[in-house]
Chain A
């Protein structure tokens, strides 16, 4: 089984994101970037399949600027066999990413596409679903457990009500939840080896994909500051405040 894993370079989850003064976006200059955390789970799962003898090849792919190579290299360091960067400039929306991935799927013919359930920068949670529609493949989103049964996958999904078990036929698109596994560390020797693994660089226009944004972003603003809490003296005062000031009861 051949697995394609899509990864994204995002602002590190520990960094306090700052809105640009002119409201045109968020500050990314000299900000620590990392791979999107649920994408790490996707790579980990693929590597586990390979270690268990169930996958033959893992291709890590990303769509983004030149520097996104780092994220592919990280995937190579934890066990992907080769990498692809589809180079783009500026904001790329989920639909453009899904279309780019489709082109690569058409070429590489993987049996399974894995990716994180959403990216922590735009929180869109759309790319996997769009790709599955474009390919007309089954999808399983928010996977917290994946079992391979011949040509069928048994997937446990994290849903609002609890867990949902579904079966999907291969080929399929699966988006991964953080509960799926514990991503491994890239070891130093593997980071070195990853530098020598093949990484193909294409541009979106090579693939004939139009990445122009379909959504116009008008303004980015910080959420309003939360007001400090107060202490109330009695239950009666609390009830009165909830009723009259907060108007929630």
Chain B
């Protein structure tokens, strides 16, 4: 089927691209594919939302009843030691970390709302249809995408219910898959988009939603922490946002450049909740949601070229998150809106898609990302030096220091051998404040139809046991937030087991596997988590 524009992914960047396109030219045929069973079901984010891009897209978003309601009313920043906490005055925080103009939102709900606006403008949205493959023209330019075949069994045979994938051709195809999109990854490689750039940096983010006791709830309160339980050399921190309806959004982000293969991001997050300063907020409450997703941390140094013949990369499929701000929604939206303007000019004035790069450079997104560029790499010197440098860079020089620090390694290269690193003993979950992976994954509502091919492919099926287990004690068992990977001993033989039906589409394995041996591909449409107001 032929469209003017085909958009892959129904997150903030893809939806903003679609909306802006229809605002510029209502006659355009725009379709948007989403792998989740509905828009929002694969969206997981903090989220303290800066409205700058939304203000531009829908100046009347308040009248349109956008689910952006809870204004930030109070802020705290804590440094944690094992039992103590020191509050850092917010006026001594870099201005990028001040949130008084922002809102606490559910990004999943905002996306549902954006989808409704897009449909009202005539965008055709197809949830439950993953784009599994890129189609190319003879001249090598992107032609469109093919949706996943449905009804294939484990062995790859067609079931009775087989339904072939469909080719969707676009004059322009926009890839908006989010962090580590599996098609975006292919495009970056094929078109050499990251040439001359630093390796991309990632983190893994966790989020739980708690319904807390009345007296522990302070609607509009935003709190961040650094320090315990992570050591000085591991990059990460937490967020605690008091949203509406007595809910607290509680989360943790850990840089995937950690070195110790015994580190378990999931267990660090669980342990973090036992800190007295955190426990007192959620004690007596109830955990109602859980989820995890990889996110981009590389910033401008790692941002690939975003245009190529026939296609654009937007949002975190390229990597537009602003790390020191801990925000990527407004930049993702804006990058999509710039894409729409680019495409509109291409159609109207026959301009090249490559004008995107220049337009992006002139936008406030670039300005933001440029000012933020040195924060994340400075933390490779450790938390303390990182903070000192960031203080100078962000408060004194406001991101204008005439130097750019580099990201030296890709995240899959940073693990040390298991025998060089200390084992980490994590406390057992108590089922009240801390939980195991099984009960957590249950809350995500994730599911993949039983009889389908495993969507987590091993380039070399023997590598996990023959190499990764011996050298790194198979870290997939620990970095996966959903318990997909297990090493099981069956009649004295180690076996690597992939429980792909548990996968919550976070993409961490695709990023962190030391030999890049695990490749995430799209499962049958509609599979994966069913997130609610995450």
Contact B530 A18 (CB under 8 A): no
B20 to chain A: closest CB distance in Å? 23
Q: Which one, A111-119, A121-129, A187-195, A201-209, is touching chain B?
A: A187-195
Contact A184 B163 (CB under 8 A): yes
Contact A14 B126 (CB under 8 A): no
Selected from B1, B108, B160, B446, the residue in CB contact (under 8 A) with A189 is B1
Q: Which residues of A contact B (CB under 8 A)?
A: 12, 14-16, 18, 21, 29-32, 34, 182-185, 187-189, 191-192
Selected from B124, B211, B442, the residue in CB contact (under 8 A) with A16 is B442
Contact B445 A189 (CB under 8 A): no
B87 to chain A: closest CB distance in Å? 31
Contact A182 B160 (CB under 8 A): yes
Instruction: Chain A residues near B126: list those with CB within 8 A.
Output: 188, 191
With contacts A14-B447, A15-B445, A16-B442 known, is A187 near B530, CB below 8 A? no
Q: Which residues of B contact A (CB under 8 A)?
A: 1, 37-38, 40-41, 106, 108-109, 112, 124, 126, 129, 147, 150-151, 159-161, 163, 166, 211, 288, 442-443, 445-447, 525, 530, 532-533
Selected from A32, A183, A188, the residue in CB contact (under 8 A) with B38 is A32
Instruction: Chain A residues near B163: list those with CB within 8 A.
Output: 184-185, 187
With contacts A14-B445, A14-B446, A183-B161 known, is A32 near B41, CB below 8 A? yes
Instruction: Chain B residues near A18: list those with CB within 8 A.
Output: 288
Instruction: Chain B residues near A185: list those with CB within 8 A.
Output: 150-151, 161, 163, 525
Instruction: Chain A residues near B442: list those with CB within 8 A.
Output: 16
Instruction: Chain A residues near B532: list those with CB within 8 A.
Output: 15, 30-32
Instruction: Chain B residues near A34: list those with CB within 8 A.
Output: 37
Contact A189 B530 (CB under 8 A): no
User: Can you list 27 residue pairs at the A/B interface with Cβ under 8 Å?
Assistant: A12-B530, A14-B445, A14-B447, A14-B530, A15-B445, A29-B533, A30-B40, A30-B108, A30-B109, A30-B533, A31-B532, A32-B37, A32-B38, A32-B445, A34-B37, A182-B159, A182-B161, A183-B161, A184-B151, A184-B163, A185-B151, A185-B161, A185-B163, A187-B166, A188-B1, A188-B129, A189-B166
Q: In the complex the two chains form, what is the Cα distance from A184 to B106 in whole Å?
A: 33
Q: In the complex the two chains form, what is the Cα distance from A192 to B129 in whole Å?
A: 13
A138 to chain B: closest CB distance in Å? 30
Selected from B40, B41, B161, B166, the residue in CB contact (under 8 A) with A184 is B161
Instruction: Chain A residues near B112: list those with CB within 8 A.
Output: 30
Instruction: Chain A residues near B445: list those with CB within 8 A.
Output: 12, 14-16, 32
Q: Which 6 interchain pairs have the tightest Cβ spacing?
A: A32-B530, A14-B447, A185-B150, A185-B163, A14-B445, A15-B445
Instruction: Chain A residues near B38: list those with CB within 8 A.
Output: 32
Number of A-B contacts (CB under 8 A): 55
Q: In the complex the two chains form, what is the Cα distance from A191 to B447 in whole Å?
A: 23
Write the chain B residue with the least CB distance to A184.
B161
Contact B147 A188 (CB under 8 A): yes
Write the chain A residue with the least CB distance to B40.
A30
Additional 19 contacts, C-beta under 8 A, given A12-B530, A187-B150, A189-B166: A12-B37, A14-B447, A15-B530, A15-B532, A16-B443, A21-B211, A29-B533, A30-B109, A32-B41, A32-B445, A32-B530, A182-B159, A185-B150, A185-B151, A185-B161, A185-B525, A187-B163, A188-B129, A188-B147
Instruction: Chain A residues near B211: list those with CB within 8 A.
Output: 21
With contacts A182-B161, A184-B163, A187-B166 known, is A30 near B124, CB below 8 A? no
Q: In the complex the two chains form, what is the Cα distance from A42 to B445 in whole Å?
A: 25
Instruction: Chain B residues near A14: list those with CB within 8 A.
Output: 445-447, 530
Q: In the complex the two chains form, what is the Cα distance from A189 to B150 in whole Å?
A: 14
Instruction: Chain B residues near A15: list those with CB within 8 A.
Output: 445, 530, 532
Q: In the complex the two chains form, what is the Cα distance from A192 to B166 in whole Å?
A: 13
Instruction: Chain B residues near A187: list those with CB within 8 A.
Output: 150, 163, 166
Q: In the complex the two chains form, what is the Cα distance from A15 to B442 in whole Å?
A: 9
Q: In the complex the two chains form, what is the Cα distance from A188 to B126 in whole Å?
A: 8
Instruction: Chain A residues near B40: list those with CB within 8 A.
Output: 30
Contact A30 B106 (CB under 8 A): yes
Q: In the complex the two chains form, what is the Cα distance from A185 to B525 in whole Å?
A: 10
Instruction: Chain A residues near B443: list those with CB within 8 A.
Output: 16
B176 to chain A: closest CB distance in Å? 18
B257 to chain A: closest CB distance in Å? 34
Instruction: Chain A residues near B109: list those with CB within 8 A.
Output: 30
